[in-house]
Amino acid sequence: MKRLVILGAAVAGLTGIAAHAEVSDAVIKNAFAPYEKSTPTAPGYQPGMRITAKNVDALEGILDPFTFRYVKKGWFEIPTTPTFSLPQHPNYIEATRKSAGKVKLSPEGMLVDFDAGRPFPQEPDAKDPQAGLKLMWNFQRSINAGDSETINPFWWTFRNTKTGQSERQIRFDWHFLNWKHRTIFDPKPDITPNPGQIFRSISATVLEPFDLANTQLLIWRYENDLQRDDGWLYLGFQRRVRRLAVGQITDAFLGTDAMIEDFEGYNGRLSDYTWTYKGTQNVLMPYEKHNELPELDVEPKGDADGFRFVKFGGQGNCFPQVTWQLRKSYIIEGKPKDPNHPLSRRVIYMDSESATLPIVTQYDRKGQPWKYFPICKSHADHHLAKNKGVGVAIDDCALFFDEQAMHCTTLQFKSYVNPQENPPSIFTVQKMRATGR
């Protein structure tokens, strides 16, 4: 990338590596309201412009290398809009305020004295060797899906990027639940009983096609990041639950272009990678207001909310047709510790305001560009009416693109942040067995 714009690692009063350094209100405001006084700018960029193969060269400094390369090739164009704020839930901000300053990392890189909220709201310090890990802890303990989220309908479509041919579609029902450090929904801060000290659970069920129907995935992530995740897979045609082997989280998931480790941007243990903070930069990211997008795709048949999916287009119909905006981003490089891992590194562009991961890029073992994973985020107040005011950046679409195979998996879905549809009872092996019969 030609220009790396360092935005504020040395802002007075905003950095601090000391374990119990006091965190001021100014630091909290800087973390959760970075655009209150001004919005990001860049030479040659004007919000509202459309970025195409003809003008992208002048804007290389505000694009990640993968996005730049694809626009340069003419595979898709980027409509832009002014930067807006994505307010985080006030309970989460207050929990951050109460915990900030006392949270630190153990010698093993685990959180110490953490209650809830964002563990490290301070600006990352380039001189701090743990800055990258701290940022990833901010993601791990973010409210990426609130305390509880449902995604249904959820369509994964396999596409040949060269021809645009749609090869197969898997339709899912997904559920997410935070067991601990909850700030939005009761019970707070934890769900009990929880003897295994599960931090978070994911449950997924295939609804269609017929040959995969009722295939189920269950993942438990534990409070102790050094403890390996537990995962189970129920295969309908085998009619039995089997435990996932450790290596299966880096296998292609049900033949898609994604690994289980890729879910939500990164769905592995933080201790499985070495994380390095590479700088702060203004980057164009796929943030939008769903209800104001100029063009949407189909309305899933029978959907009670009349919701319409984000549309995909461009080369092979692989690229989401959403607006992008210039946002303050932390760049993080993660290198797997396992020498047998299929990646040599993943480079993450973290949104500073929400601590979510809207752009993730991956490199193969030889260090060559391999996979591209943008996640579209919608303002909650411009999505489903029942998401209004939830204080979460709503997941709105995603893409897994394998540029070496010229193949993609597009993800279209409806996200609903709610407690009603995600009781602890559905995140159990017993539930998988009972519904699998």
Say what the pLDDT of residue 22 is.
Answer: 76
What would the pLDDT profile of 365-421 be if each residue is shown by its tens digit?
Answer: 999 999 999 999 999 999 999 999 999 999 999 999 999 999 999 999 999 999 999
| Cα–Cα distance for residue pair 177/192, rounded to 1 Å | 13
Q: What's the rounded Cα separation, in Å, for the pair 29 and 263?
A: 29
Picking from 330, 327, 332, 298, the residue whose alpha carbon sits closest to that of residue 312 is 298
Amino acid occupying residue 1:
M
Q: Count H helices and E strands in the chain, helices first.
A: 5, 20
Q: Is residue 72 a contact partner of residue 20, using CB atoms and an 8 Å limit?
A: no
Tokens of 398: 């995603």
Report the pLDDT value the prediction gives residue 20, as an integer from 0 to 100.
52
Contacts of 240 (CB under 8 A, 6+ apart): 234, 436
β-pair partners for 397: 376, 412
Place of tokens 């374990």: 19
Torsion sign over Cα 339, 345, 351, 352: positive
| Identity of the amino acid at 89 | H
Round to whole Å and give the CA distance between 327 and 42: 11
Q: Which residues pair with 336 in a beta bridge?
A: 273
Place of tokens 């029978």: 302
d(CA 414, CA 383): 9
Residue 437, pLDDT score = 58
> pLDDT value at position 250?
86
Q: What is the mean pLDDT of the chain?
A: 92
Residues composing the chain = 437
Q: What is the pLDDT of residue 246?
A: 62
pLDDT values of the chain reduced to their tens digit, one per residue, 437 residues: 433 333 333 333 333 334 456 789 999 999 999 999 999 999 999 999 999 999 999 999 999 999 999 999 999 999 999 999 999 999 999 999 998 889 999 999 999 999 999 999 999 999 999 999 999 999 999 998 999 999 999 999 999 999 999 999 999 999 999 999 999 999 999 999 999 999 999 999 999 999 999 999 999 999 999 999 999 999 876 778 999 876 678 888 988 999 999 999 999 999 999 999 999 999 999 999 999 999 999 999 888 899 999 999 999 999 999 999 999 999 999 999 999 999 999 999 999 999 999 999 999 999 999 999 999 999 999 999 999 999 999 999 999 999 999 999 999 999 999 999 999 999 999 999 888 65
What pLDDT sits at residue 16? 36
Q: What is the pLDDT of residue 248?
A: 76
Q: What is the pTM of this model?
A: 0.93
CA 125 – CA 141 distance, rounded (Å): 20
Write the CB contacts of 404 (distance below 8 Å, at least 6 apart in sequence): 364, 368, 370
Please tell me the distance from the alpha carbon of residue 14 to that of residue 300, in angstroms, as a whole number: 46
Nearest residue to 75 (alpha-carbon basis) of 392, 318, 432: 318
Q: What's the pLDDT at 245?
A: 79
Q: Which secondary-structure segment (H or E) carries 138?
A: helix 131-140
Partners of 51 in beta bridges? 78
Q: In the chain, where are the structural domains located?
A: 1-143+152-168+254-415
Model confidence pLDDT, tens digit, residues 148-174: 999 999 999 999 999 999 999 999 999
Q: State the alpha helices, DSSP H only, in 237-365.
A: none
pLDDT the model gives residue 15:
36
